[in-house]
Amino acid sequence: MSKSAKQAEGLEAHYNTLVQPVITEKSTIAAENNQVVFMTPLEATKPQISEAVEALFKVKVKAVNTLRVKGKTKQFRGRPYTRSTVKKAIVTLEEGHAIDVTTGL
Protein backbone atom coordinates (compact mmCIF):
# COMPACT_ATOMS: atom_id res chain seq x y z
CA MET A 1 0.00 0.00 0.00
CA SER A 2 1.44 3.35 -0.99
CA LYS A 3 1.87 6.28 1.36
CA SER A 4 -0.90 8.32 -0.29
CA ALA A 5 -3.32 5.37 -0.08
CA LYS A 6 -2.63 4.98 3.65
CA GLN A 7 -3.08 8.72 4.15
CA ALA A 8 -6.40 8.66 2.25
CA GLU A 9 -7.53 5.69 4.34
CA GLY A 10 -6.69 7.62 7.53
CA LEU A 11 -8.62 10.68 6.33
CA GLU A 12 -11.63 8.50 5.53
CA ALA A 13 -11.58 7.20 9.11
CA HIS A 14 -11.49 10.80 10.37
CA TYR A 15 -14.45 11.75 8.16
CA ASN A 16 -16.38 8.75 9.51
CA THR A 17 -15.58 9.78 13.10
CA LEU A 18 -17.21 13.22 12.75
CA VAL A 19 -20.67 12.66 11.29
CA GLN A 20 -21.89 16.28 11.32
CA PRO A 21 -21.63 19.47 13.33
CA VAL A 22 -24.49 20.30 15.69
CA ILE A 23 -25.80 23.80 15.05
CA THR A 24 -28.26 24.76 17.78
CA GLU A 25 -28.73 27.75 20.04
CA LYS A 26 -26.85 25.96 22.82
CA SER A 27 -23.91 25.00 20.58
CA THR A 28 -23.71 28.58 19.29
CA ILE A 29 -23.38 29.82 22.88
CA ALA A 30 -20.70 27.16 23.48
CA ALA A 31 -18.78 28.49 20.44
CA GLU A 32 -18.16 31.69 22.41
CA ASN A 33 -16.20 29.55 24.91
CA ASN A 34 -14.02 28.02 22.17
CA GLN A 35 -16.14 24.85 21.98
CA VAL A 36 -17.55 23.02 18.95
CA VAL A 37 -20.21 20.26 19.04
CA PHE A 38 -20.22 17.28 16.64
CA MET A 39 -22.40 14.19 16.17
CA THR A 40 -20.26 11.06 16.24
CA PRO A 41 -20.82 7.29 15.90
CA LEU A 42 -21.74 5.52 19.15
CA GLU A 43 -18.47 3.56 19.11
CA ALA A 44 -16.18 6.60 18.65
CA THR A 45 -13.75 7.24 21.53
CA LYS A 46 -12.44 10.56 22.87
CA PRO A 47 -8.89 10.04 21.46
CA GLN A 48 -10.34 9.19 18.02
CA ILE A 49 -12.53 12.31 18.06
CA SER A 50 -9.62 14.52 19.15
CA GLU A 51 -7.35 13.09 16.44
CA ALA A 52 -10.03 13.55 13.75
CA VAL A 53 -10.68 17.21 14.67
CA GLU A 54 -6.95 18.00 14.72
CA ALA A 55 -6.36 16.29 11.36
CA LEU A 56 -9.36 17.68 9.48
CA PHE A 57 -9.45 21.24 10.80
CA LYS A 58 -5.72 21.81 11.58
CA VAL A 59 -6.43 23.02 15.13
CA LYS A 60 -5.19 22.02 18.61
CA VAL A 61 -7.74 20.26 20.85
CA LYS A 62 -7.68 20.97 24.58
CA ALA A 63 -10.40 18.52 25.74
CA VAL A 64 -13.23 16.30 24.48
CA ASN A 65 -16.42 15.63 26.42
CA THR A 66 -18.96 13.11 25.10
CA LEU A 67 -22.58 12.35 25.88
CA ARG A 68 -25.12 9.84 24.62
CA VAL A 69 -28.61 11.09 23.88
CA LYS A 70 -31.09 8.21 24.24
CA GLY A 71 -33.67 7.95 21.47
CA LYS A 72 -37.12 9.19 22.41
CA THR A 73 -40.29 7.16 21.87
CA LYS A 74 -42.50 9.17 19.52
CA GLN A 75 -45.69 8.64 17.53
CA PHE A 76 -46.41 9.30 13.87
CA ARG A 77 -50.06 8.94 12.81
CA GLY A 78 -50.71 6.88 15.92
CA ARG A 79 -47.86 4.45 15.27
CA PRO A 80 -45.10 4.43 17.89
CA TYR A 81 -41.45 4.45 16.90
CA THR A 82 -38.12 5.21 18.59
CA ARG A 83 -35.64 7.82 17.43
CA SER A 84 -32.04 6.71 17.12
CA THR A 85 -29.65 7.03 20.04
CA VAL A 86 -26.86 9.46 19.12
CA LYS A 87 -23.51 10.44 20.59
CA LYS A 88 -22.41 14.07 20.77
CA ALA A 89 -18.86 15.29 21.29
CA ILE A 90 -18.17 18.71 22.78
CA VAL A 91 -14.66 19.62 21.64
CA THR A 92 -12.84 22.39 23.50
CA LEU A 93 -10.12 24.07 21.43
CA GLU A 94 -6.90 25.68 22.64
CA GLU A 95 -6.78 29.48 22.88
CA GLY A 96 -6.21 31.12 19.51
CA HIS A 97 -7.75 28.23 17.53
CA ALA A 98 -11.24 28.33 15.99
CA ILE A 99 -13.46 26.32 13.66
CA ASP A 100 -16.20 27.90 11.55
CA VAL A 101 -18.63 24.97 11.14
CA THR A 102 -21.00 26.95 8.90
CA THR A 103 -18.51 26.99 6.00
CA GLY A 104 -17.86 23.23 6.01
CA LEU A 105 -14.57 21.49 5.18
pLDDT in tens, 46-101: 999 999 999 999 999 999 999 999 999 999 999 999 999 999 999 999 988 888 87
Could you tell me if 57 and 64 are in contact, meaning their C-beta atoms sit under 8 angstroms apart? no
pLDDT at 5 > cutoff 70: no
Higher-scoring residue by pLDDT: 1, 73: 73
Could you tell me if 35 and 63 are in contact, meaning their C-beta atoms sit under 8 angstroms apart? no
- CATH of the domain spanning 3-93: 3.30.70.330
Report how far residue 37's alpha carbon sits from residue 31's, in angstroms, rounded to the nearest whole number: 8
Report how far residue 88's alpha carbon sits from residue 42's, in angstroms, rounded to the nearest whole number: 9
Domain boundaries, the chain: 3-93
Which band of pLDDT confidence, cut at 50, 70 and 90, is reported for residue 13?
A: confident
Tell me the pTM.
0.83
Q: What per-residue confidence (pLDDT) applies to 10?
A: 72
Q: What per-residue confidence (pLDDT) applies to 82?
A: 94
